[in-house]
Amino acid sequence: MSSTQPATIWDGRRFGITIGSVALVFLAAIEAMAITTVMPVIATDLHGEVLYAVAFSSTLATSVIGMVAAGIWNDLRGPRAPLTTAVVLFSIGLVVSGIAPDMYTFVAGRLIQGLGAGGQIVSLYVLVARVYPSFLHGKVFAAFAAAWVVPSMIGPFLAGAVAELSHWRWIFLGVVLLTVAAFVLVTARLRGVSLSAEDDAPTGDLPTRRTILNRIGLSIIVAVAAVGIGIATEAAPQVGWILALLCLAAIGIAIRPLLPAGTLRARRGLPSVILIRGLLAGAFFASEAFIPKLLIEQFDFRPTTAGLALTLAALGWSFASFLQGRYGDRLGDTRIVTISVALLLTGVVLLTAIAALGALPWLVMFAWGIAGCGMGFLYPRLSVLTLAYSNPSNEGFNSAALSISDSAGSAIIIALVGLASLTVPLAGSGFILVFGISALVLLACLFPGLRLGSADTAQRVSGRGL
């Protein structure tokens, strides 16, 4: 896609593709903001309080399967067919959750939705690698992050208003229609565009049938074990923790072949990029999942006002992502990691203090806005580094590994803090434990965070030129 004019993500040959891809991210953002806001209402309506954390972790868990399958499929055939399949599964899951008569059916819909969500994000990452030159990747991911701006402004309030004035089911059913429209836009803009790799991968680099089956089988084990941690909340605390630890061990064994070698040991370079993504996502989304619950149950907020914390966080995320896309190379990865972790810790520590004191609930909005800025600085940077460390023969695998770490880390930590909150629920101490665990995970981010390498080094490793 060369041109005599300076290449941008908005130039004539890429404009439609950028708009279509951002539209899909926009819809995913709407759904994510909505479900976090109204989950307390859904859990009460469907008498499924004990499955509160599972409703979040289930989608993240099965997304691992979708990511692995999509990663293999993308490497073999390109992103077009995997993206189509992913959108279909995502839409089916939304419908099932939207018409669910009980919490178990609702969770089943979330499981299906996760398959599609995982495949969609990996396919979009590979789409970016195939359509845009490497020096535009940072700007594309900044645009993806910016696609959260409008959802962050209207998503939580709109979801709360729909739940209060009509019914939460229309949130899911409405997103289905918009998702279909966004997908039609994407496919129309991609018509006639070649999505093949710049150079064909050597035959030896392609996964064998046995490797494919092994990866998918391992991803199923990871997903089942992650859901198992959430289901452990239904057992007595003593039994639940034993089950959770067994599931955690199973995940640790099964996930290793799905990630670059050395990821769990924080080896310098791509493995540390993948590891910090999972830790970062787990700490942030585990805290965020319990913020509306804290405001509604402990401080009697309405769903519309409880969602304001998520709004400010997403706005902070988008603003910081814009700054990262503009000045990230100048700041360098070490400074970005330090700034991001400091901002996230500030937000989580403030949440812990609010839960402990049982006062100043409006400070939650400010605290989570700061945390959102921390995510915006670092999160898209990790996507850029992953593609920089990749070449056409492993873009699908590496993109899937990044997303697997993201989802598995979130699913595991959300499930564990959910179990912790049910084990120690008195006088707000369950919330203190939730935010305290997240703070410890954020501190752990510093070790891989200082071993990321740099974009220039990554380009040399992958063989891509800047």
Give how far the C-alpha of residue 137 lies from the chain's centroid of Cα atoms, to the nearest Å.
18
pLDDT per residue rounded down to tens, the chain (466 residues): 444 566 778 776 777 778 878 888 888 777 777 777 788 888 888 888 777 777 877 887 888 898 888 888 887 878 888 999 999 999 999 999 989 999 989 999 999 998 998 888 888 888 888 878 878 887 887 788 777 666 666 766 777 777 777 788 888 888 888 888 878 877 777 776 666 654 444 444 566 778 888 889 998 998 888 888 877 767 777 788 888 889 989 998 999 998 999 999 999 999 999 999 999 999 998 898 889 888 888 888 887 787 778 778 878 887 888 888 777 778 888 889 999 999 999 999 999 999 888 888 899 999 999 999 999 989 888 988 888 888 877 777 888 788 889 888 888 888 888 777 777 654 456 788 889 999 999 999 999 998 887 655 555 554 544 3
Q: What is the pTM of this model?
A: 0.72
Cα 369 to Cα 346: distance, rounded to the nearest angstrom: 10
What residue numbers bound the domain in which 138 lies?
A: 15-192+201-462
Contact (CB, 8 A) for 142 and 322: yes
Q: Is residue 67 one of the residues assigned to a domain?
A: yes
Q: Is residue 53 one of the residues assigned to a domain?
A: yes
Q: Is residue 367 one of the residues assigned to a domain?
A: yes
204 secondary structure, DSSP code: G
The CATH number linked to 372 is 1.20.1250.20
Q: Is residue 6 one of the residues assigned to a domain?
A: no
Provide Rg for the chain, Cα atoms: 21
Q: Is residue 409 one of the residues assigned to a domain?
A: yes
Q: Is residue 4 one of the residues assigned to a domain?
A: no
Cα 251 to Cα 436: distance, rounded to the nearest angstrom: 23
Q: Is residue 8 one of the residues assigned to a domain?
A: no
Q: Which of 3, 112, 130 is nearest to 62 (CA)?
A: 112
Q: Is residue 1 one of the residues assigned to a domain?
A: no
Domain count within the chain: 1
